[in-house]
C-alpha cells in the first residue's frame, strides 16, 4: 500500500502578544487598585460568615481573581484581617489569609504553629496550613527524633524505627557514607578523626605567621585537638560554620573545659568563614586558668 507524501504545514498562527498588551494590563491593574480603595471592609465576624462555606473555591491565583469579581469588599476584608498575621506566617499570600478566615475562622490552634511556637506554617505547594510543621528557627529535619516525638507523641519510637529501616532511607545512608569516605580520602584523612576542608591550610599559614610549631597528631585524654604547640602550651582549633549552632557550641565548651583542666593551657579558636580569606579570619584566645 502506497502512502502519500506528507504536505508541509502552511498554517500560520497569530502572534502571542501585541504591542498594546502591557499598557492594557497596566490600566486593568490601575482600575482594580481604584476599586479596592473604594471598597468597604466588613467586620471580622461578617467576613468569616460570608467566606466560611465557600473559601476552598477561591484558593490559588485564579481563585483569588475570581473572588475579586465575586465580592471585592470581601476580598479587601480578608486582606486586611489576614495581614495581622504577617509576623507569624511563613509565607504571606492571599490564599493563606483566605484559609485563616474560612477554615480556622481566625482561631488558630496550636497544631498549626511550628514546633518552637513562633510561626504558622503555610505550604504553598498544597495550598494549606501545615499541621505540626517547622520553621527556620526550629532546626529540625523530618528524620530527627524530635520530629517524631512532636508529631506522634508517646508512640514516636515505632514510627521512627520504621522510617529509618525503610529501603529508601537505607539507600540514602549508604550513599551518604560513600560520599563521606571519598571526601576524606581526597583530603588525605585516615581513621575516624575528621578535618575541615581548609584546616591544614589555615594551620600552616598561622604556623608560619606566628613562628611556632603545631603538632597535628596530639591527643589529650579522649580528645584529638586540631593542633597543639608544646613550646607555648597552646591548643589550636579550627571551627567551621556548623560549630556556631547551639548543639555544637555546648559540646565545644565542655570539650574546651576538659582539655584546659587537663593541660592548664591556652586555647586559640580560629573561625573558618568561607566568606573571608585565611588572612582575615576572626580568632578568639582563651588563656589558661
As given in the structure block, the three cell numbers for residue 60 are 490559588
Query: Would you call 115 helix, strand, or coil by DSSP?
Result: coil
What is the model's pLDDT at position 12? 41
What is the model's pLDDT at position 9? 45
Domains of the chain: which residue ranges? Answer: 21-133, 199-286
What is the model's pLDDT at position 98? 92
Eight-state DSSP code of residue 215? B
Identify the sign of the CA torsion 218, 194, 186, 167. Answer: positive
Whole-angstrom distance, CA of residue 51 vs CA of residue 156:
37
Q: Which residues of the chain have pLDDT under 50?
A: 1-19
Identify whether the C-beta of residue 63 lies closer than 8 Å to the C-beta of residue 102.
no
What is the model's pLDDT at position 21? 61
Total H helices, total E strands in the chain: 10, 6
Identify whether the C-beta of residue 239 lies closer than 8 Å to the C-beta of residue 251.
no
What is the model's pLDDT at position 231? 93
What pTM was computed for the model? 0.46
pLDDT digits (tens, 9 = 90+) for 26-67: 888 888 888 888 899 999 999 999 998 999 999 888 988 899
What is the model's pLDDT at position 195? 74
Question: CATH code for 199-286?
Answer: 3.40.960.10
Query: Would you call 254 helix, strand, or coil by DSSP?
Result: helix
Helices 44-51 and 94-102 cross at an angle (nearest 10°) of 90
Amino acid at each position: 500500500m502506497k502512502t502519500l507524501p506528507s504536505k508541509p504545514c502552511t498554517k500560520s498562527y497569530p502572534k502571542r502578544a501585541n504591542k498594546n498588551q502591557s499598557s492594557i494590563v497596566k490600566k486593568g491593574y490601575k482600575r482594580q487598585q481604584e476599586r479596592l480603595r473604594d471598597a468597604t471592609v466588613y467586620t471580622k465576624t461578617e467576613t468569616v460568615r460570608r467566606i466560611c462555606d465557600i473559601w476552598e473555591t477561591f484558593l490559588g491565583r485564579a481563585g483569588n481573581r475570581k473572588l475579586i469579581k465575586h465580592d471585592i469588599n470581601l476580598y479587601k476584608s480578608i486582606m486586611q484581617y489576614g495581614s495581622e498575621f504577617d509576623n507569624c506566617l511563613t509565607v504571606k499570600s492571599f490564599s493563606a489569609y483566605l484559609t485563616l478566615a474560612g477554615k480556622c475562622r481566625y482561631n488558630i490552634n496550636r497544631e498549626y504553629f511550628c514546633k518552637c511556637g513562633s510561626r504558622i506554617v503555610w505550604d504553598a505547594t498544597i495550598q494549606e496550613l501545615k499541621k505540626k510543621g517547622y520553621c527556620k528557627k526550629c532546626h529540625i529535619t523530618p528524620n530527627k527524633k524530635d520530629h517524631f516525638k512532636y508529631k506522634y507523641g508517646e508512640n514516636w519510637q515505632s514510627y521512627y524505627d520504621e522510617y529509618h529501616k525503610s529501603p529508601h532511607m537505607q539507600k540514602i545512608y549508604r550513599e551518604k557514607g560513600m560520599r563521606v569516605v571519598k571526601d576524606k580520602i581526597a583530603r588525605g584523612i585516615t581513621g575516624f578523626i575528621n578535618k575541615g576542608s581548609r584546616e591544614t591550610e589555615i594551620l600552616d599559614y598561622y604556623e608560619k605567621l606566628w613562628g611556632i610549631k603545631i603538632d597535628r597528631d596530639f591527643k589529650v585524654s579522649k580528645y584529638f585537638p586540631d593542633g597543639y604547640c608544646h613550646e607555648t602550651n597552646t591548643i589550636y582549633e579550627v571551627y567551621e560554620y556548623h560549630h556556631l549552632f547551639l548543639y555544637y557550641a555546648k559540646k565545644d565548651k565542655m570539650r574546651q573545659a576538659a582539655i584546659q583542666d587537663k593541660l592548664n593551657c591556652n586555647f586559640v579558636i580560629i573561625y573558618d568563614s568561607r566568606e573571608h580569606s585565611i588572612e582575615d579570619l576572626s580568632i578568639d584566645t582563651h588563656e589558661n586558668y
